[in-house]
Amino acid sequence: MGSSPEITDTWYARPGSEQDVVVSTAVELHRNLANFPFPERLDDSDGARVMSIVFDAFNRLEDSERYQTVAANLLDSNAFRIMRERNILPSDEYRNAGIILRSDGKVSCTVNCGDHVRIASFFSGMDFDRPLVITGKLDSDIQHFVQFAASYDFGYLTSSIADCGSGMRLSFSAHLPSLCMLGRIRSLSEEVAAAGFSMSAEYASGGAGVLSGRNFDGAALGGYYRISSTNCISGTEFDQVASIIALCKKVIDAERAAREECRRTVPSSVQNYMYRAASIARSSVFVTLREAIEITGGVKWALDMGFLSGINETDLHSLLYRIQEGHLRYVLDNGKFKFEDDVSGSEDKKIERLRALILQEAFENLQIQHNSAR
């Protein structure tokens, strides 16, 4: 088993179904070792013991050579940032967590990160089946070597009461620019909450203003949202999966219907958004992260509307990770670049310059579909 994580495996570079709306799907299992306090109450000695037990369990798997383990406090600051950007670590506070990555990039595990063990799998597009199978098998395999805390009445015991029961958190990321344009995000959020799920901005709030010239109520940066289960205790695992699949299909239908309505009623606003996204990407010397996410969302919207061609959904999904600061710093550290004299002396300027170059390269084959953009 390796001792340091590779950061080149990319689940998000693979195509997925319904990717015009559903960007990605995630399944996360929360587990805790029996006879240990929850992580927030662990002292340093017990925390190290839990990490050792979990790492040893992975080392004893039949396919242990596929896994790499590392303590988060051994990562340099940029490697830690990349773990955050790829949703492997949930926040900066987990400096003493453990990280386990599989070589194909389809599954990861954290130790002492809210719970003793959190097994997560992400897939592009709408796909709950494969991450459920992957996380379920890994959960079953490591239980040959560790005992998880569970109760006949409450199911798996977790650090949060809402996660007890199945201990299974389900979520999907959705691109909803048409609903943003029509001002329907708030009502959708209320429907999502009524169904027992939460809806939040995937990256940040306050989107659309950069490209549209005006803001929309509840708009997220780039039009990207994450919809997640709020508890694991209601119903069986089958019920929980069925509920989020039904909601996911409803969100897909709502965005696609809104897309057609935008095409009929506000085509000029859509074209303005599209043209500004393409022109800013192609002509800018520096691009901030917020601008890059908004630009990528704008190009994706135009592609899904049939107004643009020359790039595919998978490349746009990958771009959301390639423009992140941690990834760009990794590229700078491992490549040879010659920047303009007034850029080369500033790390921040080099990051924004490289981000602009990556966008320009990604969009070099963009073409306007005039028959659709009338």
Kindly report the three-state secondary structure assignment for every residue of 154-216. CEECCCCHHHCECCEEEEEEEECHHHHHCCCHHHHHHHHHHCCEEEEECCCECCCHHHHCCCC
State the average pLDDT over residues 328-350.
90
Cross-strand pairs, 228 = 171, 198
The domain total for the chain is: 2
Summarize the annotated binding site for ATP as residue ranges.
24-28, 118, 169-173, 200-205
| Domain coverage including residue 122 | 11-258
Domain boundary among 188, 223, 258: 258
- What is the spatial distance between Cα 261 and Cα 222, in angstroms, rounded to a whole number? 19
Is there a domain that residue 3 lies in? no
Domain boundary among 228, 258, 288: 258
- What is the spatial distance between Cα 363 and Cα 323, in angstroms, rounded to a whole number? 13
Summarize the annotated binding site as residue ranges.
24-28, 118, 169-173, 200-205
Q: Quickly list H helices, 237-312.
A: 237-265, 267-283, 289-305
The pLDDT score that the predictor gives to residue 5 is 45
Is there a domain that residue 5 lies in? no
Tokens standing for residue 374: 């009338």
- What is the spatial distance between Cα 216 and Cα 219, in angstroms, rounded to a whole number? 5
Same domain as 311, residue 184: no
Same domain as 273, residue 245: no
Same domain as 212, residue 105: yes
How do residues 130-185 score in pLDDT, each as one tens digit?
A: 999 999 999 999 999 999 999 888 899 999 888 899 999 999 999 999 999 999 99
Is there a domain that residue 1 lies in? no
Same domain as 204, residue 162: yes
Same domain as 295, residue 230: no
Is there a domain that residue 341 lies in? yes
Domain boundary among 207, 229, 258: 258
Task: Give yes or no for a contact between 208 and 294, defined as CB atoms under 8 angstroms apart.
Answer: yes
Say what percent of the chain tops pLDDT 70.
93
DSSP assigned state of 66 = G
Q: Quickly list H helices, 28-160.
A: 44-59, 77-85, 129-142
The pLDDT score that the predictor gives to residue 206 is 66
Is there a domain that residue 317 lies in? yes
CA angle 176-168-97, nearest 5°?
Answer: 95
CA angle 198-202-203, nearest 5°?
Answer: 145
Is there a domain that residue 193 lies in? yes
Is there a domain that residue 218 lies in? yes
Same domain as 248, residue 347: no
Same domain as 38, residue 148: yes
| Strands 168-175 vs 308-309: parallel, antiparallel or unpaired | unpaired
Same domain as 288, residue 249: no
- What is the spatial distance between Cα 34 and Cα 22, in angstroms, rounded to a whole number? 37
State the average pLDDT over residues 43-70.
95
Q: Helix, strand, coil shares of the chain as percentages rounded to 5?
A: 50, 20, 35
Cross-strand pairs, 2 = 68
- What is the spatial distance between Cα 276 and Cα 302, in angstroms, rounded to a whole number? 11
Same domain as 304, residue 186: no
Burial class from Cβ neighbours inside 10 Å (0-12, 13-18, 19+) for residue 301 reads: buried
Q: In the predicted model, what is the mean pLDDT of the chain?
A: 90
Is there a domain that residue 148 lies in? yes
Same domain as 329, residue 201: no
- What is the spatial distance between Cα 120 and Cα 26, in angstroms, rounded to a whole number? 7
CATH of the domain at 96: 3.30.590.10
Which of 52, 136, 148 has its CA nearest to residue 100? 52
How do residues 193-234 score in pLDDT, each as one tens digit?
A: 999 999 999 997 765 555 655 555 568 999 999 999 998 888
Same domain as 254, residue 344: no
How do residues 264-297 score in pLDDT, each as one tens digit?
A: 999 888 888 888 888 888 899 999 999 999 999 9
Q: How far is CA 265 from the centre of its chain?
A: 32
- What is the spatial distance between Cα 124 and Cα 104, in angstroms, rounded to a whole number? 14
Res. 374 pLDDT band, cuts 50 70 90: very low
Same domain as 69, residue 107: yes
